[in-house]
Structure 1
Amino acid sequence: MSTAIPAGLMPQTLTQVRPVEITDGYGSQEWDYGPDATRTEITGWLQQDQRQAVTGGITEGRDPQREKWLLITNHTDVRALDRYEWSGPAGAVVFETDGPPAPVFTPRGFHHSEVALRILTG
C-alpha cells in the first residue's frame, strides 16, 4: 500500500467512531455510537467546503447553518456509518459521513481516502 500524502500535510487529529449494532427495547436493530463503539485516532486534512445561512422556513431548534466539510486521510478503513469527533478552534465538533467515502487510487495503488462530512446538529 502506498500512501502518497506526507504526514506533515495531515495536521488534524480526529477520533473515528465506528458504531456497534444493538437491539432496542422493541427488538429493532439500530446503530449505537456510545461507549461500546470502536474509537480510533486518525490524522487528516479537514476543511470546510461550504457554509451558508438557511433563510426562510422554520429551523425547528436546529442551527440555521448548512455546512459541508471534507476529510482527506491516509486511513484506509473508512465506512459510511462512521462518525468523526474533532476538537477545533471553536470547540468540540462531531461529524457524520455524508455519502459513501471515496478511496482514491493511482497506478501505484491506494493514495488516500476522501470523506464528505456534515456537522451533527439539532
Structure 2
Amino acid sequence: MSVLYQQSGVIIRPAVTTDRYGNQRPDYGSAAERIPLGQINVQPAGGSSEDTSDRQLTVTGWLLISAPGTMPDLRETDRIEIDGQVLEVTGKVGRWPTPPGLRHIEAQLKEVA
C-alpha cells in the first residue's frame, strides 16, 4: 500500500428520527452508525473562509481519496471523523469503479469550526 493512503477514520452514518412535528431528520448523535474507514488520504482543498459578522466561523475544505482498488460505502449524508475532526460530506461522492485495480472514490468535505 502506498504511503499516501495510510490515514483512517470513522464514517458517521445518521439515524433517521422524527421530530415532534412529524418531520424526518438525520440524527448524528448516539443513534448514528459508526463504520471504520481505512486506506484513505485526506488533504486540504478549496481553501477556507471566515465569517465574523455574528460570531467567529471558519469553513475549511478537504478532499478525501480512497486507495486504488477500494470502494468504501460513503454517502453524501454521512460525516467523517478523522484525527478528532468531524467533517461533512458536501455534494455527491465521486465513484470510479473501473478498471478494478484503479477503482476508488473521491469526496469533497468541509469542516465548520
Q: Which category of TM-score, normalised to the shorter sequence, fits these structures?
A: 0.7 to 0.9
Taking a change above 3 Å as real, the CA distance of residues 22 and 85 of structure 1, as seen in their structure-2 partners, is same
Q: CA RMSD in A?
A: 2.2
Q: Distance in 2 between matches of 1:119 and 1:108?
A: 31
Match of 2:33 in 1: 38
Across the two proteins, how many residue pairs are aligned to each other? 109
Give the partner amino acid of 1:98.
T
Check whether the contact 1:53–1:66 (CA below 8 A) recurs between aligned residues.
Answer: yes
Check whether the contact 2:60–2:111 (CA below 8 A) recurs between aligned residues.
Answer: yes
1:110 positional shift: 6.5
Give the partner amino acid of 1:72.
I
TM-score (normalizing by structure 2): 0.82
1:50-81 superposed Cα distances (whole Å, 9 cap, x missing partner): 324437x61x2242x33210011134311110
Moved over 4 A (4+): none
Identity of aligned residues (%): 30
Check whether the contact 1:103–1:110 (CA below 8 A) recurs between aligned residues.
Answer: no
The runs of 5 or more residues in structure 2 that have no matched partner are none
Q: Distance in 1 between matches of 2:31 and 2:48?
A: 35
1:16-72 superposed Cα distances (whole Å, 9 cap, x missing partner): 0011111012211100011111101112100001324437x61x2242x33210011
TM-score (normalizing by structure 1): 0.77
The runs of 5 or more residues in structure 1 that have no matched partner are 1-5
